[in-house]
Amino acid sequence: MQDMTPINTAEASERRAIKISAKEVTVHYGAKQALFGVDLDIEENQVTSLIGPSGCGKSTFLRCLNRMNDTIDICSVGGQIRLGDINIYDPKVDVVELRARVGMVFQKPNPFPKSIFENIAYGPRIHGLCRDKSDMEEVVVSSLQKAGLFDEVKDRLDEPGTGLSGGQQQRLCIARAIAVSPEVILMDEPCSALDPIATAKVEELIDELRENYTIVIVTHSMQQAARVSQRTAFFHLGNIVEEGPTEQIFTMPKDQRTQDYITGRFG
């Protein structure tokens, strides 16, 4: 019976609820096509990493998930992306509300040029999530705590967020994303500008956040993808070549192109 175990666990992970379901997603930047019909189911409370060489469309795909591509005039998105039971490209969808449900953390930490407190309070305020000042304080404190930053900044919440170190700034951005209680957090190479220690802290945080959020992360670090994610999708030339449990992708990839990429053989 022992050899049945892996199959059972594989089935268990199959049965996880699907948070975001992308079908036949295409993206054009003007005449240039960046994505060619991408299908991907993103499981709830899991970290999904998107890997692939530069220009393969992984960031483009990530930005489709909260309609960040809307901000680019020449960009057009086709296909369907469902978040729960809504089609996020439905014209009736309020984009601001969508982005509160699907938050984002970028490559470079980009705190607002405001105090640490205001950086966190901004989102909940514009979305009208807090009734009064003490409510707001609670949200700020708990967001900073969840992002593992509170102890480091509790005595200087009124100092500018831009005065923090790079790693702290990135965790501030994660706290800011958490403050509006999103369901999904998208991260576009969140550690590429950080040193190894700050990276380790953010990775630790990602693992903790998985309990309450669904996380999709774009990363160029194979080791990072292997460490933090449960599922991995390998993009190449605007398509998903292979998607599956991270463990399998990094130990026994099925596709030769995946094998070549993760072992550093891509020409």
Partner 1 sequence: MSDHIVTSYDDDLKELAGKISEMGGRAERLVEDSIAALVRMDMVKASETVEKDTIINSLDQEIEEKAVLTIARRQPMAHDLREIISALRISVDLERIADLGKNIARRTLALEGKKQPKQLVHGIEHMAELALTQLRTVLDAYTGRDDVAAIGVWHKDREVDALYNSLFREFLTYMMEDPRNISFCTHLLFCAKNLERIGDHATNIAETIYYLKTGLPLEDRHFEENEQLDLD
Is residue 267 a contact point for partner 1 (CB under 8 A)?
yes
Identified binder of partner 1 from the candidate list 126, 159, 204, 265, rule CB under 8 A: 265
Give the binding-site size for partner 1 (rule: CB under 8 A): 16
Q: Does 263 bind partner 1 (CB under 8 A)?
A: yes
Q: Order of strands across the sheet with 102-105?
A: 102-105, 184-188, 214-218, 47-51, 231-236, 239-245
Segment contacting partner 1 by CB under 8 A, of 99-107, 129-137, 163-171, 221-229: 221-229
Region of 45-53, 106-114, 137-145, 220-228 interacting with partner 1 (CB under 8 A): 220-228
Among 220, 222, 237, 257, binds partner 1 (CB under 8 A): 222
Q: Does 262 bind partner 1 (CB under 8 A)?
A: yes
Q: How far is the CB of 233 from partner 1 (least distance, A)?
A: 16
Smallest gap from residue 107 Cβ to partner 1 (A): 22
Nearer Cβ to partner 1 (56/139): 56
* Interaction between residue 253 and partner 1 (CB under 8 A): yes
Choices 119-127, 152-160, 209-217, 251-259; region in contact with partner 1 by CB under 8 A:
251-259
Residue 247 beta carbon to partner 1: minimum distance, rounded to whole angstroms: 11
Residue 251 found at the interface with partner 1 (CB under 8 A): yes
The residues binding partner 1 (CB under 8 A) are 3, 222-223, 226, 250-253, 259-260, 262-267
